[in-house]
Chain A
Amino acid sequence: MILEGQERIPSGCAITGVIDRSGNPMSGEDMIRSIAVMHDRSNGLGGGFAGYGIYPDYKDFYAFHLFYDDTFAKQQTEEFLARHFEIAYASEIQTHKIPEITNEPLIYRYFLSPLRRKLESSHLDEGEYTARCVNRINAGITGAYVFSSGKNMGIFKAVGFPEDVGRFYRLDEYFGYSWTCHGRYPTNTPGWWGGAHPFGLLEYSVVHNGEISSYDANRRHMEMFGYQCTLQTDTEVIAYIFDYLLRRKGLTLTEAAHVIAPSFWTTIANKSEEERAQETLLRKMFPSLLITGPFSIILGYTGGLMALNDRLKLRSMVVAERGDRAYIASEEAAIRVIRPELDKIRAPAGGEPVIFELYDRNGGK
C-alpha cells in the first residue's frame, strides 16, 4: 500500500469552528457535537481538532505533538529535540481507548523553547528556527511526525470519524478560546494518522474542505522556499502558503486572502482606485499562490479564525454570530446544534475573507 505523501489523494470534507471573542474558555465538547451532525460528510478515514488557548500554563513554549511509529523513531527525535531545544515538559498524550479508534501510534507532547545559543548562532528568528526543526524531523526521521507545533495551541487528529477522535483525545477536558474541527472524506487512504487534518505549522492551523486544482503549481512554488510538501495534501500546502505570506512576507490576513482567492480581473477593474492598485499588485507579485478549485477553509491562528471560500464558492460554508461567540461551518445545522438561537447568519461570498478575532488579541483571558 502506498503511504500518504507518496500519492495524492483527493477528499471531500466537513469543517466547523468556533471562537469566543471575549476569550472565555470552552471545552472541545461543542465541537464534537457540531461535527457529529455532519457525520455523512466524513467517511471514517480521518478527523481532527485544533484548540487555541489550551495550554495557558506553558503559553510561552512551543507545544510539539508527535506521532511515532516505534520507540526507535522516538529516541532519534528526542535526541534531535534535546540538541535544539530546552524541553520544559514531555509526556505521552493521555487518550481514552475506544473501539472506534484503532492502530494508534505512540503520541507524545513536548513543551519546548529553542536553545538560546543555537538560536543566536543560527541568525534566524525563533519562528523560522522552530519551523525548520519541524521540517527536519518530518522529512528526515523515518517514523516520526510533528503534527502540531504552535504556542498555547494544539492539534489532535486520527483516523476515524471526528466525533470519535474527539472522545479518543478526551477533548472535553481541554479548554480554549477557539476551536476548529475537521471530518475527512478521502477517496482512498492508507490510514495514516498524519494525513488527517487539521494541518498546522507553528501557530497556524488549517482545516479545509475541497480539492484544489492548482495544487502542483502551488506546491512547486512553495518548495522553492524550503517548504517540503511531504503529505501531498491540499491542506498542507495551504498551511504553508499562509505561513509564508503572513509570517515570512508580513502580509495581513486580508492581503493573504486576496493572493489565495483573488477577485476576478473584471471585478478588480470596478473597485476603487486604491483597492484596484493593491489587489492588482498582489496578483502580480504572487501569481503562483493563487488557488483554484473548490475549497472552504478555516485558518486558525493565535487570537483568531479566518474563514475563506474559493473564488467561485464551490463549497458550502456559513458564518454566524451570537454574542461574543462566532461560528463557522460547512452546514448551518452544525452551528444550530450547539447554538440554536443566532444573532446573525450568512454565507460569505467566494473569495471574501471573514475574520473573527479576540477583542483584545494580546490580552485574551
Chain B
Amino acid sequence: MEPLFIYPEYEVVRDEARCIACRVCERQCANEVHYYDERLGKMLADSTKCVNCHRCVCVCPTHALKIRKSDDTYKVNANWENSTINEVYRQAGTGGVLLSSMGNPKPYPVYWDKLLVNASQVTNPSIDPLREPMETTVYLGKKSAKIERDANGRLRDTLAPQLKLSTPIMFSAMSYGSISYNAHESLARAAQELGIYYNTGEGGLHRDFYQYGKNTIVQVASGRFGVFAEYLENNAAIEIKMGQGAKPGIGGHLPGEKISDEVSVTRMIPKGVDAISPAPHHDIYSIEDLRQLIFSLKEATAYKKPVIVKIAAVHNVAAIASGIARSGADIIALDGFRGGTGAAPTRIRDNVGIPIELALAAIDARLRQEGIRDDVSLVVAGSIRSSADLVKAIALGADACYIGTAALLALGCHLCRTCHSGKCNWGIATQRPELVKRLNPDVGYKRLVNLVHAWTHELQEMMGGMGINSVEALRGNRLMLRGVGLTEKELSILGVRHAGE
C-alpha cells in the first residue's frame, strides 16, 4: 500500500494581486514550501511542507501571504479528531515514535488564568511605582544561617552563597546545539545587561561565552556533555538537571544534523552523531546519590557557588523536593508540564507530569510544614507567559521564575513546534550557518532586555497596586490571590480562597 496522503493542517494563502514574485519567501523558507513557476510566471506553494513558522508572512514585502488552518476534515468525530487519526496513519507508515517540540499544547487547565490578584484601597494605600521605590531585587540561596557575631558584636556573614537578581526572572536552560550560537549570545548578553542569569542547558559552554560567566548558570545533566574544569569555573551557579517538565522520565536527544563542528567541540562529542543523554543519571539511582553529586560539585567549586537541582513536576514532587532540600541543594528549579523542549516524544510531552501551579503550591506548603522552606529557594519554570503569571507564581511561593518559551518568542520564535527538524527559519533552533545568521545578537539581546524590562515594570505596577514595595513581601503571600471557577480541592491544593471569600 502507498503511504496515505495526509492533507496539510495549514495552507499557505497568497494574494495574487499583491504578490510581485520577488521570491523572498522562497529564499527564506528552509522547508522549501515556496517556488517560482517560470511557465506560469508566478509564485506557488507546497503546503504539505509548511510548518507554519510565519517566516514568509513576516518577510513578505507586500504582505501578500498568510497561513490559514485547513478546513479539510475527516468525518467529524469527537473521539477521533483529525490529528489523532493522522498520527495513527503516520505511525502505521513508519513504525516510529512521534516527535514534537516546545510545550504541551493540549487544553489542560491553566491555573494562572483562574487566579486573580488583589489591590489595596481605603484601609491601605496603593503605591505609585513612578514616585516611590519599588524593589524587585531578590537573592536566591539558603536563608537559614546561624547568627554569629565578631568581637565587636557585628553580625558575621554566615550565609551560604547567594545569587543576586535585579528582577525575579531568569532565562531557562536551553542548550547550545538545540539552539544556535547567536541565540545563546543574545541570552548571555541580555542576562549581563539585566543583572540576571541565563542557563547553558546541558550542551556545554562555548568558550566565547566565558566572558559572561558572572551571569551564567551551567547545567550538569545525565549526558555530562561539556562538563570539565573550565565549565565549572566560568559560571555563577551550577544546576543539576534531574528532570524536565516537557519530558519527565526521559533523557535528551539532539539529532546528528544539529551537531556541527562547534557544537561537537563544546559538547565534547563526535560531530554528526546523535547526542543522547540517558533517562536517569547513571550515578544517581536514589536521593543519597544526588547528595553525593551536589557535594562533589561543591567540593569542586570550593563551596563558593550555589547548586541548583532542577526537577520536573510529577505526582510526588512535594516529597521529592523535601528530600532535595535536605540534601544540600541551595535552590530547587521546578519545571511544569507545559515547559518547552527542543524535542520530545509527543505522547510524553502531552501526557506526563502535572501543572506547575499545583506543583509549586504543594512544594511550598510542604517545605513550610516541615520547617525547611528557608533551606532552599524555589525557581519556577514551565510556561510563565507574562508578568501576570510571574506575579501569581511569586504569590504562590516562588522566589523567581525561569522563562524559556517567552524568551524565544522575543527572539522571533513563532511556536511552530518543529525545533527537532533543525530547520528553524528564525535562526534559533538550528545550526545551519545560513539560518543562524538571520538572528542578529545585537538585535536579539536588545529584544530580550526590552521584554524583561517590560515585565519588571508590570510586576512593579501590580506590586504597587497591592501596596507592596518589595518583592520579598509578595513571595508566598497567598492572601493576594483568589481563585475563580475552581473546586474546593483545587483551592485547597493552591492554598487560596475563592473570589468573594
Q: Are B137 and A265 in contact (CB under 8 A)?
A: yes
Let me know if A213 is at the binding interface, CB within 8 A.
yes
Contacting residues, chain A, for B155 (C-beta < 8 A): 255, 278, 281-282
Question: What is the CB-to-nearest-CB distance from A282 to chain B, in angstroms, rounded to a whole number?
Answer: 7
Answer yes or no: B470 CB below 8 A from chain A CBs: yes
Closest CB-CB distance, A140 to chain B, in whole Å?
Answer: 19
Q: Does A56 contact B (CB under 8 A)?
A: no
In the complex with contacts A281-B155, A284-B162, A285-B143, A225-B371 CB distance below 8 A: yes
| CB contact list, B455-501 vs A, under 8 A | 466-470, 472-480
Cα of A158 to Cα of B159 in the assembled complex, Å? 44
Return the CB mask of A273-294 against B: 1 if under 8 Å, else 0: 0100110011111111011111
Shortest Cβ distance from residue A90 to the other chain B in the assembled complex, whole angstroms: 35
Choice from B137, B474, B476 contacting A221 with Cβ under 8 Å: B476
Stretch from B124-132, B175-183, B320-328, B351-359 contacting the other chain: B124-132
Structural contact, B368 and A220, CB atoms closer than 8 A: yes
Which B-chain residue is minimally distant from A185 (CB atoms)? B123
Q: Is the CB of A213 within 8 A of B133?
A: no
Contact B123 A264 (CB under 8 A): no
Tell which of B133, B368, B371 has the most Cβ of chain A within 10 Å.
B133
Instruction: Find residues 161-216 in chain A having any chain B CB closer than 8 Å to their own CB.
Output: 187, 210-211, 213-216
CA distance A288 to B125 in the complex (A): 21
Closest to A279 in B: B155
Bitwise, A295-309 to B at CB < 8 A (1) or not (0) is 000000000000000
User: Is A216 touching B478 in the complex (CB atoms < 8 A)?
Assistant: yes
The reply to whether the CB of B120 lies closer than 8 angstroms to some CB of chain A is: yes
Give B132 Cβ to nearest chain A Cβ, in Å: 6
**Closest Cβ of chain B: how far from A185's Cβ, in Å?**
9
Assess the B472–A217 pair: CB atoms within 8 A.
yes
* Chain B proximity of A330: nearest CB distance (Å): 15
Contact A312 B132, CB 8 Å, known A217-B474, A224-B373, A278-B155: yes
Chain A residues whose CB sits within 8 angstroms of the CB of B147 once the complex forms: 249-251
A288 and B476 contact, Cβ closer than 8 Å, known pairs A265-B135, A266-B133, A314-B125 = yes
Q: How many residues of A contact B (CB 8 A)?
A: 45
Beyond A211-B123, A213-B124, A216-B477, is A274–B467 a contact (Cβ under 8 Å)?
no
Which residues on A sit within 8 Å (CB–CB) of B477?
Answer: 213-217, 220
Task: Give, as a whole number of angstroms, the nearest-CB distance from A249 to chain B.
Answer: 5
Q: Which of A5-13, A26-34, A95-103 contacts B (4 or more CB under 8 A)?
A: A5-13
Give residues of chain B (405-456) contacting chain A, Cβ–Cβ below 8 Å.
none
Q: Does A104 contact B (CB under 8 A)?
A: no
Flag B107-133 by CB within 8 Å of A: 1 or 0 each.
000000000000010111101000011
**How far apart sit A187 and B120, CA to CA, in the bound complex (Å)?**
14
Minimum Cβ distance to chain A for residue B376 (Å):
13
0 or 1 for each of B205-233: is its CB under 8 Å from A? (1 = yes): 00000000000000000000000000000
Contact of A264 among B135, B145, B154 (CB under 8 A): B135
Are B472 and A290 in contact, CB atoms less than 8 angstroms apart? yes
A24 CB to nearest chain B CB (Å):
31
Residue contact B154 to A285, C-beta cutoff 8 Å: no
- CB of A187 within 8 A of CB of B123, answer yes
Q: Residue A74 at the B interface, CB < 8 A?
A: no
The reply to whether the CB of B257 lies closer than 8 angstroms to some CB of chain A is no
In the complex the two chains form, what is the Cα distance from A107 to B162 in whole Å? 50
A285–B133 Cα distance when bound, in Å, is 21
Query: Would B124 and A294 count as touching, CB distance under 8 A?
Result: yes
Name the residue of chain B whose CB is nearest to the CB of A255.
B155
For A187, A277, A293, the residue with the greatest tally of chain B CB atoms inside 10 Å of its CB is A293
In the bound complex, how far is the Cα of B133 from the Cα of A264, in angstroms?
7
Decide if B374 is an interface residue (CB 8 Å cutoff).
yes
A284 CA / B158 CA spacing, docked (Å) = 11
User: Do A287 and B124 have beta carbons less than 8 Å apart?
Assistant: no
Docked CA distance A293–B480 (Å): 13
Whether a CB of chain B sits under 8 angstroms from the CB of A311 is yes
Report B-chain residues with C-beta under 8 Å of the C-beta of A281: 155, 157, 159
Within 8 A of B (CB), among A220-273: 220-221, 223-225, 249-251, 255, 262, 264-266
Contacts of B470 in A (CB 8 A): 262, 290, 292
Given contacts A217-B474, A282-B155, contact A292 B469 (CB under 8 A): yes
What are 6 residue pairs bridging A and B, where the CB atoms are less than 8 Å apart in the complex? A218-B473, A223-B368, A224-B371, A281-B157, A292-B473, A294-B467
Nearest first, the 10 A-B pairs at minimum CB distance are: A214-B473, A216-B479, A213-B467, A287-B472, A10-B123, A217-B477, A292-B473, A211-B124, A216-B477, A264-B133
Q: Known contacts A214-B474, A287-B475, A294-B124; can you find 4 more A-B pairs with CB under 8 A?
A: A220-B476, A278-B154, A282-B155, A294-B467
